[in-house]
């Protein structure tokens, strides 16, 4: 089943403006499918192929000469020596749309791009599907709970893979291919325990010392593992909003998983029925909403510019979306019935900002859109209407 990606137009636009476009993101997010769909007539070579990789590493000039009009270089981080030769090539040609690079491992790919291709390359981050992409393709999950358990990685939908089996294999493959390569982790059981501890904290403020103690690792080890998980698009850190509203503000980021399918697998949840009664159901729903907001911005080639606001008294606004000099508040509630306490964060925000009352949104687990004064109440299935406006 072909599912069109919202990032296609952004990719075409960047290709017309820059000599090199870099598409990065987590493994299995659909990067290769996207670039081969958009650039069907462009030569394609995968540097996962050991013969191609050896050629690129030993004779980069000869390797690139095979592609006089440019090419798609998949998993380009395997041949970082190519980047300086690509720089020379695109500088001589002085045109846009020469090479398209993809890569899953952010450290290796983006460090090379930053060093050799600064000013010559545009970067597009591709995450797994959005709900809107599935709805447009006519294949949305039948319920919110099914969506949260299945997650949004393409193989779940393209190949009808069983989510539990697929995420288990994804974690094992990820551990073998990425974490061991980057950090030389020998005790994989400790790292898996660390992943599960992170899953139990999705939507919470990061407490690095507590996380390290609970996993039996050092503070520096926990910090290093979190850094790699962030760089590999497994975890996202939502930063606090720092405008001074004459209150002491929390300065610690919140931890979120990019995908709820991986999150619920790590939590040991197997079925949609289980997720509904799980004590972390609210955090799982919040994780999904934050992910949809992130994807909307990244698919447009924009910086996320998402934050949260919280003071030491516990007052908070779940997400602030910065746009055109204003911060748009979004509250996230898993309940299926709109209740008066849903609006506490938005009403608080109204007292903090100057000028006209701001626009604000609530995304909730119900099915009916509503308008309550200044506030728009968006059902989970209508989140696409929200992301298009912010």
Residue 70 pLDDT greater than 90, yes or no: yes
Q: When comparing pLDDT for 55 and 191, which is higher?
A: 55
Residue 356 has pLDDT above 70, yes or no: no
Is pLDDT at 246 greater than 70 in this prediction? no
Cα separation, 231 vs 242, whole angstroms: 24
Distance CA 121, CA 195 (A): 33
Residue 345 CA: distances (Å) to CA of 204, 313, 330:
17, 13, 9
Mean pLDDT of 35-62: 96
Reference 369, options 357, 358, 354, 381; nearest CA is 381
- Whether 311 shows a pLDDT value over 60: the answer reads yes
pLDDT class for 248, splitting at 50, 70, 90?
Answer: low
Write out the two tokens for 155: 């193989």
DSSP-derived letter for residue 177 is: I
What's the confidence (pLDDT) of residue 107? 63
Question: What percent of the chain has pLDDT above 70?
Answer: 95
Q: Is the pLDDT assigned to residue 105 strictly greater than 90?
A: no
pLDDT averaged over the chain?
Answer: 91
Q: What pLDDT does 61 receive?
A: 96
Give me the residues paired with residue 332 across strands. Answer: 363
| Neighbouring-strand partners of residue 109 | none
In the predicted model, what is the mean pLDDT of residues 318-328?
89
- Mean of the pLDDT values across residues 277-288? 97
| Rg for the chain, CA atoms, rounded | 22
Which residues are within 8 A (CB) of 289 and not within 5 positions of it... i.e. 6 or more apart?
319, 330, 332, 363, 380, 383
- Record the pTM: 0.94
Contact call for residues 149 and 275 (beta carbons, < 8 A): yes
Rounded Cα–Cα distance for residues 229 and 237 (Å): 10
User: What pLDDT sits at residue 108?
Assistant: 66
Report how far Cα 386 is from the mean position of its chain's Cα atoms.
18
Among residues 333, 332, 308, 305, the alpha carbon closest in space to that of 319 is found at 308
Neighbouring residues of 88: CB distance < 8 A, sequence distance ≥ 6: none
Question: Which range among 106-115, 256-265, 281-290, 344-353 shows the weakest confidence by mean pLDDT?
Answer: 106-115
Q: How far is CA 260 from the centre of its chain?
A: 11
Residue tagged 């001589």 (tokens): 92
Distance from chain centroid for Cα 28 = 12
Tell me whether strands 99-103 and 20-24 are parallel, antiparallel or unpaired: parallel
Q: Where are the alpha helices (DSSP H) in 300-353?
A: 344-352
Distance CA 34, CA 348 (A): 42
Domains and CATH numbers, the chain: 8-125 (3.40.50.300), 130-390 (no CATH)
Per-residue pLDDT, averaged over 167-185, amounts to 79
Position 378 confidence tier, pLDDT thresholds 50, 70, 90: very high
Q: What pLDDT score was predicted for residue 55? A: 97
Place of tokens 């992943």: 195
- For 70: left if phi > 0, alpha if psi spans -120 to 50, otherwise beta; the answer is left
| Helix H or strand E encompassing 72 | strand 71-74
Q: What is the mean pLDDT of residues 10-21?
A: 97
Write out pLDDT tens, residues 111-165.
777 777 888 999 999 999 999 999 999 999 999 999 999 999 999 999 999 999 9
Distance CA 380, CA 378 (A): 6
Q: Given pLDDT bands bounded at 50, 70 and 90, which one contains residue 245?
A: low
pLDDT band at 313 (very low <50, low <70, confident <90, very high): confident
How far, in Å, CA of 18 to CA of 13, rounded? 9
Please report which confidence band the pLDDT of residue 189 belongs to, taking 50, 70 and 90 as the band edges.
confident
Tell how many helices (H) and how many strands (E) occur in the chain: 19, 14
Q: Supply the pLDDT for residue 247.
A: 59
**Contact by Cβ (8 Å): 158, 133:** no
pLDDT at 347 over 60: yes
The pLDDT of 259-277, averaged and rounded, is: 96
User: Which one has a higher pLDDT value, 195 or 354?
Assistant: 195
pLDDT of residue 374: 84
pLDDT at residue 325, rounded to an integer: 79
Alpha-carbon dihedral sign for residues 368, 371, 375, 376: positive
pLDDT of the residue at 213: 92
């Amino acid at each position: 089943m072909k599912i069109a990606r919202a990032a296609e137009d952004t990719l075409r636009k960047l290709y017309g403006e820059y000599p090199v476009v870099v598409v990065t993101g987590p493994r299995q997010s659909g990067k290769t499918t996207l670039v081969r769909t958009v650039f069907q007539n462009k030569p394609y070579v995968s540097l996962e192929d050991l013969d191609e990789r050896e050629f690129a590493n030993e004779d980069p000039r000869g390797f690139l000469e095979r592609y006089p009009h440019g090419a798609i270089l998949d998993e380009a981080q395997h041949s970082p020596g190519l980047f300086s030769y690509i720089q020379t090539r695109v500088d001589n040609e002085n045109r846009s749309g020469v090479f398209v690079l993809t890569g899953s491992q952010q450290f290796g790919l983006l460090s090379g791009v930053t060093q050799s291709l600064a000013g010559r390359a545009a970067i597009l981050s591709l995450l797994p599907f959005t709900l809107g992409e599935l709805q447009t393709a006519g294949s949305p999950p039948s319920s919110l709970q099914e969506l949260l358990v299945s997650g949004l990685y393409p193989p779940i939908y393209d190949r009808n893979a069983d989510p539990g089996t697929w995420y288990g294999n994804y974690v094992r493959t990820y551990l073998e291919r990425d974490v061991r390569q980057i950090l030389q982790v020998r005790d994989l059981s400790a790292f898996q325990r660390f992943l599960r501890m992170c899953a139990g904290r999705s939507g919470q403020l990061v407490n690095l010392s507590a996380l390290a103690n609970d996993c039996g690792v050092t503070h520096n080890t926990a910090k290093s593992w979190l850094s790699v998980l962030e760089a590999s698009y497994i975890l996202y850190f939502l930063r606090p909003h720092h405008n001074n509203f004459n209150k002491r503000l929390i300065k610690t980021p919140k931890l979120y998983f990019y995908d709820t399918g991986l999150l619920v697998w790590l939590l040991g949840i197997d079925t949609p029925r289980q997720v509904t009664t799980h004590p972390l159901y609210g955090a799982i729903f919040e994780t999904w909403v934050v992910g949809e907001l992130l994807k909307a911005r990244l698919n447009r080639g924009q910086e996320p510019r998402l934050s949260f606001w919280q003071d030491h008294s516990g007052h908070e606004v779940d997400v602030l979306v910065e746009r055109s000099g204003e911060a748009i508040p979004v509250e996230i509630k898993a309940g299926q019935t709109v209740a008066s306490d849903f609006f506490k964060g938005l009403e608080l925000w109204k007292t903090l900002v100057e000028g006209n009352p701001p626009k604000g949104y609530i995304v909730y687990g119900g099915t009916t859109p509503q308008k309550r004064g200044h506030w728009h109440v968006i059902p989970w299935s209508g989140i696409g209407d929200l992301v298009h406006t912010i």
